[in-house]
Amino acid sequence: MFRAPIQHCRQCGTAVEHRIPDDGDTKVRAVCPSCGTIHYENPLNVVGTVPHWGPTGEQVLLCKRNIEPRLGKWTLPAGFMELNETTAEGAMRETHEEAGAQIEMQGLFTLLNVARVGQVHLYYRARLLSDRFEPGHETQEARLFTEAEIPWEELAFRTVKETLERYFEDRRKGHFGVHTGDIA
Ligand SMILES: [Zn+2]
Tell me, in angstroms, the distance from the centre of ligand 1 to residue 6's CA. 12
pLDDT (tens digit per residue) in 134-164:
999 999 999 999 999 999 999 999 999 999 9
Per residue in 26-64, pLDDT (tens digit) is: 999 999 999 999 999 999 999 999 999 999 999 999 999
Position 141 scores a pLDDT of 97
Render pLDDT for 93-124 as a digit per residue (tens, 0 to 9). Answer: 999 999 999 999 999 999 999 999 999 999 99
> Ligand 1 mean position to 22 CA, how many Å?
16
Q: Report CA(5)–ligand 1 centroid distance (Å).
A: 16
CA of 32 to the centre of ligand 1 (A): 5
pLDDT at 7: 95
What pLDDT, on a 0 to 100 scale, did the predictor assign at position 5? Answer: 85
Task: Quote the ligand 1 centre to 18 CA distance (angstroms).
Answer: 13
- What predicted TM-score, i.e. pTM, was given to this entire model? 0.91
Overall residue count recorded for the chain in this entry: 184
Please give the distance, rounded to the nearest whole angstrom, from the Cα atom of residue 80 to the centre of ligand 1: 27
Query: Measured in angstroms, how far is the CA atom of residue 67 from the centroid of ligand 1?
Result: 34
Q: Calculate how far, in angstroms, residue 1's C-alpha sits from the geometric centre of ligand 1.
A: 27
Who contacts 97 (Cβ-Cβ below 8 Å, separation ≥6)?
77, 79, 136, 138
From the CA of 19, how far away is ligand 1's center (Å)? 14
Q: What separation in Å is there between the alpha carbon of 90 and the centre of ligand 1?
A: 32
CA of 139 from ligand 1 middle (Å) equals: 39
